[in-house]
């Protein structure tokens, strides 16, 4: 039975994918494009999903952060081979409020917090040693106190305009269902040939 709300369907499928998962089910390919439309894709971790959309966090000065500022549209692609399922999500992206980014940053392991300060993500560095020196200096800077969220680090919300579910079939006649937003709380459903 197909759920009338694709986000509810995604949450149910994600829960199934997370059971005894051989790898991290939150890993998702994020595709962005710069102002000229040149695409780039990389893996990020999904950190939340609800009726508003899909949340992830990053260095805002990284390539993906800059591209999302220039062109606030993106796509996500989840692939859970162990259950033969894929989900594609497309839509507009917006920055999360500072309070939400602060709350998530505070929940991260201390090493990840320090790494966010030390890494100039997506920028060239002279050597691995230079990066490690920055990491040691960052650790000394915050020794004995909480690590605040860097001003150049935060979260994004992808508000889905389309969500496609793909289920593998041995015959290669895979099952594809594409939901397209048709208003604030309404979706249309199309069944697609594989």
Name the token pair of 34.
């710069």
Percent of the chain scoring above 70 in pLDDT: 98
pLDDT in tens, 154-181: 999 999 999 999 999 998 899 999 999 9
Name the token pair of 5.
């709300």
Quick one: pLDDT band at residue 126, thresholds 50, 70, 90? Answer: confident
In the annotation, is 172 catalytic?
yes
DSSP annotation string for 4-22: SSHHHHHHHHHHHHHTT-S
User: What mean pLDDT is predicted for residues 8-18?
Assistant: 97
- Asked if the model's pLDDT at residue 3 lies above 70, the reply is no
For residue 150, which phi and psi values (nearest 5 degrees)? -65, 150
Task: Please state, rounded to an integer, the average pLDDT across all residues of the chain.
Answer: 95
User: What mean pLDDT is predicted for residues 57-66?
Assistant: 97
pLDDT in tens, 14-44: 999 999 999 999 999 999 999 999 999 999 9
Domain extent listing, the chain: 6-110+151-192
Neighbouring-strand partners of residue 76: 30, 89
What value does the CA radius of gyration of the chain take, rounded to a whole number of Å? 19
Q: Which of 73, 123, 159, 172 is catalytic?
A: 172
The SS3 of residue 63 is helix
b/e burial code for range 39-51 (CB count within 10 A of at least 16 → b): eeeeebebbbbee
Quick one: pLDDT band at residue 1, thresholds 50, 70, 90? Answer: very low
CA distance 109 to 125: 24
CA distance 121 to 82: 31
The CATH homologous superfamily of the domain defined by 6-110+151-192: Electron Transport, Fmn-binding Protein; Chain A (2.30.110.10)
Position of tokens 């680090």?
Answer: 153
pLDDT number for residue 184: 77
């Amino acid at each position: 039975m197909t759920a009338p709300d694709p986000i509810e369907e995604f949450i149910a499928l994600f829960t199934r994918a997370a059971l005894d998962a051989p790898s991290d089910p939150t890993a998702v390919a994020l595709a962005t494009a710069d102002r000229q439309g040149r695409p780039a894709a990389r893996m990020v971790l999904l950190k939340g999903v609800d009726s508003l959309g899909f949340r992830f966090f990053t260095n805002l000065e990284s390539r993906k952060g800059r591209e999302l500022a220039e062109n606030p549209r993106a796509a996500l692609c989840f692939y859970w081979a162990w259950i033969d399922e894929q989900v594609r999500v497309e839509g507009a992206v917006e920055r999360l409020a500072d309070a939400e980014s602060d709350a998530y940053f505070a929940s991260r392991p201390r090493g990840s917090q320090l790494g966010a300060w030390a890494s100039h993500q997506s920028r060239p560095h002279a050597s691995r040693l230079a990066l490690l020196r920055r990491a040691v200096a960052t650790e000394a800077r915050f020794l004995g106190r909480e690590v605040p969220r860097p001003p150049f680090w935060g979260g994004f919300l992808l508000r889905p305009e389309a969500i496609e579910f793909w289920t593998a079939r041995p015959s290669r006649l895979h099952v594809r269902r594409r939901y397209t937003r048709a208003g604030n709380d309404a979706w249309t459903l199309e069944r697609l040939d594989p």
